[in-house]
Amino acid sequence: MSRYSFTYQQEIGHQGQSLVPHFPGGLSGVTIGPGYDMGSRTPIEIYEDLTKAGIHPQTAQAFMDAASKTGDDAQAWVNQHRHELYITEEQQQALFDHVLVDEYERRLRSQLAQFADESDTVTHDMISWEDLSEKQKHILFDFAYNPGLSKFPTLTEAVLREDWDTVAQSFERFSGGEPLSYRNDTFYATFLDPNAPPIEADSEIAEVIDAIELPENESIEVAETIWSNDLYAETPIIEEHPSIPHALPDAHLENSLNEQDWDV
């Protein structure tokens, strides 16, 4: 299981759409797996990253053509190729573990350094990676991954101070003024619920999303089946909103597991 498995499970979604190329909308590029966006990547970078994840060189080479395409160009590329290409569950997890985790940990450290540089109340001692707890790292990683710490300054400082009451009032993510309820509920249950188990260095966060697994020799028709059920919408505009302390009734969490939305 991935180290940052909460983020991984949220990014791959519910229906297996992450296994085929898709376009999240806005200024995004062609995307595959748990948020591997090719819009700002070079062809050789795409080839090296995908083959590092165990994706067949021929498939990786086909994705090289998606490099630097964003917006309408990315949508057009997806429309042309979405029924031809797919990756397996094992490959998308390897892409996360061996490529994206390192990339976003570097981004997280860079964002924390910039945050400390620009803050009057956060010092560089507070962002020392070695001194952060696993809980702090998991939460900060998830927000650096989507949508970036700069959009959540109140939460970022509260996490660094381990001020969990403030975190509980500021962690919710919104799109178009509406809460991303599934991601918010599972985030609370994992990190903020007083009854949640502690997060240790090598702990595994329970998986809560069933993903579609494609065997290596499965017909490409399976990819078309995935697309026929595709619920992927435009990338949410995620904003920081003040909120009341979050309560998570058990029944509500159980019902949220059946929601058919993408909280990316």
> Band of the pLDDT at 253, cuts 50, 70, 90?
very low
- Residue found under tokens 């498995």: 5
Alpha helices (H) along the chain: 5-12, 43-52, 57-64, 71-81, 89-95, 101-118, 134-145, 153-160, 164-170, 181-187, 221-228, 250-256
Q: Is the CB of residue 68 less than 8 Å from the CB of residue 40?
A: yes
pLDDT at 251: 38
Tokens standing for 1? 């299981």
Question: Could you read off the pLDDT of 74-100 as tens digits, one per residue?
Answer: 999 999 999 999 999 999 999 999 999
Global pTM? 0.77
pLDDT at 200: 74
